[in-house]
């Protein structure tokens, strides 16, 4: 069994996270319940920052908030001195509501609306990561109307696609994101920005993928960017002050995953950049990164209550829990794999292989196929590990299942940071037919 962060077994044989008995948490707050190990989030955040500091590199570590966004999470990110990457007006609104310093927010997205751009400018956004020509012109126009200047990075696609373990170098990058490097789109963008009055080009951005276990892809991307930067310096007299290499650092979901420590990604990225800077006789830029999953993924655990079971003789046994694809769509969407234990009987030996089913009306609503567990019965608490990234943030109301509550656990204290959705919440936005209303 593999425990992440502060997770341990207490004297009752219960799973404990952040010094809190998870069985007691399930009883108090109900299930499904996301429980975050705050100490582990802090450890990861400090790991990234400290490594840059030790290397004496000017850097920004921006939390990719799409992994899990809430007011409390943003406050924690702010306390840890990180910056924030948002991709929508909704994430930005949450950050502002959390009191996050807006100048440390980077606004991403491949189709920002004029409303979102204006909202960000009025709030004093730190920078935009501009994705395409339409957005460039839109941004310059809106800035002119508001008579305000802004700083941007341009997102470029370096022609490297990471498929977790291997990398594909594509001549013509087929991606909906960013300015293509090969075909000269990025060069055209720089020339266009040079003619602008309100938009200043601070640097470049690239993100090659997610759940990546090796440093090779990042190093390859950095090398390609710097080769291009050499041309920009010579031909356009432009040198980026900031190079943002995105996120994507992999985590351990199951025994099949073997990630390297976060510090190693940073060290190897910095080494590659330094080497290129020397080789091409350039100035060392600031290095920014955007980890999402690696900051919160293994810090999150979902607690479920076991309900019905179905045994198909000689085929398999289904054990159903009170959540499923409504709180974790990743198995259905990506065939993502997870590990789990019975949180109220951690020391019991595994007796059978079962598959964990969700409660949604959909055959594909399976959380885990073929997992070894003790013989589970109704009311046992199942803890699924590593649900901290893209769990709550991708949760949905399929079958009108309310979204779970979220708890932050640390040092023997538990704080409710997102309330459980109620049935009233579910119908809050519904508008009854006028006809029906009038009849009443
Ligand atoms: N920066 C950019 C520009 C991104 O597009 C992403 C993720 C990140 C940073 C953060 O990547 P991370 O460190 O979390 O891997 N829903 C999928 C993941 C989608 C990732 C999208 N972009 C999943 O559940 O695996």
**pLDDT single digits (tens) 5-59:** 999 999 999 999 999 999 999 999 999 999 999 999 999 999 999 999 999 999 9
Q: Kindly give the distance from the C-alpha atom of residue 71 to the centroid of ligand 1, in angstroms, as a whole number.
A: 20
Region for residue 124 given its phi and psi (left: phi exceeds 0; alpha: psi -120 to 50; beta: otherwise): left
Closest atom, ligand 1, to C-alpha of 155: 3
**pLDDT single digits (tens) 141-182:** 999 999 999 999 999 998 887 776 677 766 556 888 899 998
- Asked if the model's pLDDT at residue 278 lies above 80, the reply is yes
Q: Which protein residue has the closest C-alpha to ligand 1 atom 23?
A: 390
User: 284: closest CA among 226, 197, 236, 218?
Assistant: 226
Q: How far apart are CA 2 and CA 223, in angstroms?
A: 36
Active centre residues (catalytic)? 361
**pLDDT single digits (tens) 296-349:** 999 999 999 999 999 999 999 999 999 999 999 999 999 999 999 999 999 999
Residue 242 is encoded by which pair of tokens? 């900031």
Show Cβ contacts of residue 371 under 8 Å, excluding neighbours closer than 6 positions.
339, 340, 353, 354, 355, 356
What is residue 176's predicted lDDT score, i.e. its pLDDT?
A: 87
User: Do β-strands 413-418 and 405-410 pair in parallel, antiparallel, or remain unpaired?
Assistant: antiparallel
Q: Kindly give the distance from the C-alpha atom of residue 252 to the centroid of ligand 1, in angstroms, as a whole number.
A: 16
| pTM (2 d.p.) | 0.96
Average pLDDT over the chain, rounded to whole? Answer: 95
Q: How far apart are CA 13 and CA 342, in angstroms?
A: 10
Question: Is 330 marked as binding a ligand?
Answer: yes
- Domains of the chain with bracketed CATH: 8-34+297-427 (2.40.37.10), 108-291 (3.20.20.10)
């Amino acid at each position: 069994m593999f425990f992440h962060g502060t997770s341990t077994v207490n004297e009752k044989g219960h799973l404990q996270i952040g010094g809190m008995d998870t069985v007691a948490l399930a009883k108090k707050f109900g299930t499904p319940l996301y429980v975050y190990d705050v100490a582990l989030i802090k450890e990861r955040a400090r790991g990234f920052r400290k490594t840059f500091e030790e290397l004496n590199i000017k850097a920004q570590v921006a939390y990719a908030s799409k992994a899990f966004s809430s007011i409390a999470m943003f406050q924690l990110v702010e306390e840890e001195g990180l910056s924030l990457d948002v991709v929508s007006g909704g994430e930005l609104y949450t950050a502002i509501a959390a009191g996050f310093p807006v100048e440390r927010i980077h606004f991403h997205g491949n189709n920002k609306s004029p409303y979102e751009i204006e909202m960000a400018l009025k709030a004093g956004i730190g920078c935009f990561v501009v994705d395409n020509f339409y957005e460039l012109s839109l941004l310059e126009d809106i800035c002119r109307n508001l008579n305000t200047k802004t700083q941007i990075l341009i997102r470029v696609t370096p022609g490297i696609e990471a498929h977790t373990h291997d990398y594909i170098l594509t001549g013509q990058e087929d991606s909906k994101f960013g300015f293509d490097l090969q075909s000269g789109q990025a060069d055209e963008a720089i020339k266009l920005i040079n003619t602008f009055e309100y938009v200043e080009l601070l640097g470049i951005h690239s993100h090659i993928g997610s759940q990546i276990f090796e440093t090779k892809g990042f190093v390859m991307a950095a090398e390609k960017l710097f080769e291009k930067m050499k041309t920009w310096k010579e031909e356009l007299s432009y040198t980026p002050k900031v190079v943002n290499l995105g996120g994507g650092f992999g985590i351990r979901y199951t025994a099949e995953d073997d990630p390297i420590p976060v510090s190693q990604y940073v060290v190897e990225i910095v080494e590659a950049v330094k080497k290129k800077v020397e080789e091409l006789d350039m100035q060392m830029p600031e290095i920014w990164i955007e980890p999402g999953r690696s900051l919160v993924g293994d810090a999150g655990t979902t607690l479920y209550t076991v309900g019905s079971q179905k045994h198909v003789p000689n085929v398999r046994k289904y054990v159903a829990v009170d959540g499923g694809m409504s709180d974790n769509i990743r198995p259905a969407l990506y065939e993502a794999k997870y590990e789990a234990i019975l949180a109220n009987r951690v020391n019991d030996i595994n007796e059978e292989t079962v598959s964990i089913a969700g409660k949604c009306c959909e055959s594909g609503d399976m959380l885990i196929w073929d997992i070894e567990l003790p013989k589970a019965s109704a009311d046992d608490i199942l803890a699924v590990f590593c649900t901290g990234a893209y769990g709550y943030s991708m949760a949905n109301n399929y079958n009108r299942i309310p979204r779970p509550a979220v708890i932050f656990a640390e040092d023997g204290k538990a704080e409710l940071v997102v309330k459980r959705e109620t049935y009233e919440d579910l119908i809050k936005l519904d508008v009854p037919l006028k006809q029906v209303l009038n009849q009443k």
